[in-house]
């Protein structure tokens, strides 16, 4: 069974600085999708970024980028120029692309604080 | 386009009661998934529906059930509520099952007393 691990329960970053959130996963599959979701306090979860495992190029979305290391099964999220609005719980998630109806597996989350 | 909506947003029940939660997906989305989120267990998958059929189910007891209607709206039901069922229940929709990105609703916060 696939698992997703986020080893940093809490992290903090100074406003305007860069922070990297870690995520590792375990799978025997070669084709899958990885996601980072953001859940601000008392607000709904939104997709930050998505990565297809067959793509070697790391996904980027404005200030958010990932470092996808398939062999190491690592999928870290880098947030550049951190803003106060980035404070949230961040979840790393995995979904198989080999099984049409496989569920999304979420990591335990990393709580990010942004210090003004 | 309107996002995923969930009703009610907050709910207080007592042990032994049953509850029904509703989810309306984004227009055009045909897949709906349900998750339970608690501080201790994190986000746990409950089930996924596509075209009115349950496609996948998580490791929850039979007290948790769901269904999807022809307009893709979905409901989940929890019978014989237990204190441990207190959680944020999240619904997510996607265009189709499997590979599509999921978009989440605001959740229904259930408190069981």
DSSP bridge pairs for B13 = B112
- Residue B83 phi, psi (nearest 5): -55, -35
Radius of gyration of chain B from its Cα atoms, rounded to whole angstroms:
13
Q: Residue B90's closest CA among B54, B42, B56?
A: B42
List, for chain A, all residue ranges whose pLDDT scores fall below the cut of 70. Answer: 99-102
Contacts of B61 (CB under 8 A, 6+ apart): none
- Shortest distance, CA A97 to any CA of chain B (angstroms): 6
| Per-window interface: A 60-99 vs B, CB < 8 A | 91, 95, 97, 99
Q: Is the pLDDT of residue B96 over 90?
A: no
Per-residue model confidence (pLDDT) at position B49: 93
Phi/psi at B9 (5° precision): -85, -30
Q: Which residue has the tokens 């227009």?
A: B27
Q: Give the C-alpha separation, B49 to B74, whole Å.
A: 8
Per-residue model confidence as pLDDT tens digits over B16-40: 999 999 999 999 999 999 999 998 8
Query: Under an 8 A CB cutoff, do A100 and B58 touch?
Result: no
Cα distances (angstroms) measured from residue A94 to each of A33, A106, B23: 6, 7, 23
Q: What is the 3-state secondary structure (H, E, C) of chain A?
A: CCEEECCCCEEEEECCCCEEECCEEECCCCCEEEEEEEECCCCCCEEEEEEECCCCCCCEECCEEEEEECCCCEEEEEECCCCHHHCEEEEEEEEECCCCCCCEEECCCEEEEEEC
Q: In this predicted structure, what is the pLDDT of residue A107?
A: 95
Q: Which pLDDT score is estimated for B55?
A: 87
Substitution target in A93, A103, A111 with the highest count of B β-carbons within 10 Å is A103
| Reported confidence tier of residue B99, pLDDT bands at 50, 70, 90 | low
Contact B98 A99 (CB under 8 A): yes
How much is the pLDDT for B102?
86
pLDDT at B39: 87
pLDDT of residue A101: 60
Which of A97, A48, A30 is closest to B97 using CA atoms?
A: A97
CB pairs below 8 Å between A and B: how many?
50
* The predicted structure's pLDDT at residue A102: 67
Q: What is the pLDDT of residue B97?
A: 66
pLDDT tens-digit series, residues B49-92: 999 999 888 889 999 999 999 999 999 999 999 999 999 999 99
Residue A99 is predicted with a pLDDT of 67
β-pair type (A60-61, A74-79): unpaired
- Contact A81/A15 with Cβ under 8 angstroms? no
Nearest by CB to residue A103, choosing from B3, B45, B104, is: B45
- Order of strands, edge to edge, in the sheet holding B64-68? B5-7, B19-24, B74-78, B64-68
Mean pLDDT score across all residues of chain B: 93
């Amino acid at each position: 069974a696939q698992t997703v691990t986020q080893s940093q329960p809490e992290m903090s970053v100074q406003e305007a600085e860069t922070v990297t959130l870690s995520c590792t996963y375990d799978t025997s599959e070669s084709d899958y999708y990885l996601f980072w979701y953001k859940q601000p306090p008392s607000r709904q979860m939104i997709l930050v970024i998505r990565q297809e495992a067959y793509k070697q190029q790391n996904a980027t979305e404005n200030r958010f980028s990932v470092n996808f290391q398939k062999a190491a099964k690592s999928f870290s999220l880098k947030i550049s120029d951190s803003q106060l609005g980035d404070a949230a719980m961040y979840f790393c998630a995995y979904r198989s692309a080999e099984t049409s109806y496989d569920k999304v597996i979420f990591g335990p989350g990393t709580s990010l604080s942004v210090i003004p | 386009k309107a996002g995923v909506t969930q009703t009610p947003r907050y709910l207080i029940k007592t042990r032994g009661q049953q509850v029904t939660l509703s989810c309306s997906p984004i227009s055009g989305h045909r897949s709906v998934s349900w998750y339970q989120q608690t501080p201790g267990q994190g986000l746990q998958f409950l089930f996924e529906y596509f075209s009115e059929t349950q496609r996948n189910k998580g490791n929850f007891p039979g007290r948790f059930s769901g269904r999807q209607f022809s307009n893709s709206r979905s409901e989940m039901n929890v019978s014989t509520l237990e204190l441990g069922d207190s959680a944020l229940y999240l619904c997510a929709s996607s265009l189709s099952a499997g590979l599509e990105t999921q978009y989440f609703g605001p959740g229904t916060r259930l408190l069981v007393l």
